[in-house]
Amino acid sequence: MTVSHPVGAAKGRVLIVGATGFIGEFVAEASLGAGRATYLLTRPLDISSSKAKTIKNLQDKGAIITHGVVDDQEFMEKTLKENEIDVVISAVGGGNILDQLTLVRAIKAVGTVKRFLPSEFGHDVDRADPVEPGLTMYNEKRLVRRLIEDSGVPYTYICCNSIASWPYYDNTHPSEVVPPLDKFQIYGDGNVKAYFVAGSDIGKFTMKAVDDIRTLNKSVHFRPSCNFLNINELASLWEKKIGRTLPRVTVTEDDLLAAARENIIPQSIVASFTHDIFIKGCQVNFKIDGPNEVEASCLYPDESFRTVDECFNDYVVKVENKRAEATADGITAQINVKCAPIRRFLPMEFGHDVERTNLVEPGLTMCNEKRLMRQLIEDSGVPYTYLLQLHCFMALLRQYSPFRSRSSSRQVPNLRRWQCQ
């Protein structure tokens, strides 16, 4: 279904499968930004869903929406023919890798597609060898590769390595989560290096490769030297950003293997990949010297990669925005208390006396925010009590821990209270 006139019709037309996914959205944004006619294949979506909002955002930028499913060969052949698609990019998720077999057959049958990029966007699956359950996904990707090659479909494999974020071993989309603010989990000795690439750069360099003759029937590896880091270096960089040192806890190889063996999908898949990256060194234990391999930095030396340092700046902004939102919510709550017949208000304190504490940053910022709330309470004449419990909170947790027996003491520790009214 065409909803608007294609943007950049003079360039090859691109069909993206999986544009509502994590990587797919970056690729779709880059395709539209490059001025290409960009078609998005998507299932009909609930208009209130986050994926529907993603599609609407891309549609507003000029994307053409086609509703359907990728594993319907007749439909895919019709879509490719009627829209005169030149490039097909698949960014389907791990649960739909084998659906691409039907897509490959449709591309082969049509015979007019100039380049197919299957859903890779990670490691070179013919070189990496993760433990299960990650190995099953890689075997499926290998199966798709072999069908592409045997069918004579022109292809490019994008091997972009790790996303530029903190590599949580149990989170499928770590770039959506800020790096740790309490403690670091360090895998092994923390000295195995990896390559980190911003999502926007994955999209940008993917779109450069789609009709570059130098990438035809080859694997394109992303190895930006500026982002060649180990997890200890990532931790130190984040500590500089937030202005404080965090404790480091070792997650051993056995810990990661145990998490993988739990076979909780998709978290265990991420654990198996984390083991492959930060214990076995799957991104760095081979040279790019084969006849069918190229490196993005060598292909496009004039194009820069966003550094991890720059990406971490984005997370600092997120942390500050969340803190500001929390402050605003607290002030709003106090105003609401003033307007209601409330006899007593206990604001969010439950710690040190912020009027007597003199912390360094970034703890000082939080204290200043609490001082601002106190000032508003007192100026508004709202009856209040500031509850200062110091270190008693951990004792309280121990008393009510779900892991204690029912016969355990339930006595709640006394809290130090300071009442100002």
Q: What does 130-192 look like in DSSP terms, one character per residue?
A: PPTTHHHHHHHHHHHHHHHHHHT--BEEEE--EESS---TT-S-GGGSPPPSS-EEEETTS--
Sheet harboring 218-221: ordered strands across?
Answer: 156-159, 218-221, 293-295
Q: Is 370 a catalytic residue?
A: no
Q: How far apart, in whole angstroms, are the C-alpha atoms of residue 276 and residue 158?
A: 19
Our measurement of the distance from residue 192's CA atom to the centroid of its chain's CA atoms, rounded to an integer in Å, reads 21
Provide the token pair at 229: 């880091």
Are 394 and 376 contacting, i.e. CB atoms less than 8 angstroms apart? no
The side-by-side arrangement of strands in the sheet containing 87-90 is 64-67, 38-42, 14-17, 87-90, 115-117
Structure tokens that stand for 304 in this block: 């820069």
From 141, 183, 241, 287, active-site residue: 141
Alpha-carbon span 322 to 366, nearest angstrom: 12
Q: How far is CA 222 from the centre of its chain?
A: 17
Please report, as a single letter, which amino acid is at residue 267: Q
Between the CA of residue 393 and those of 173, 350, 397, 414, 417, what are the distances in Å?
A: 32, 8, 6, 10, 13
Q: Which residues are catalytic?
A: 141
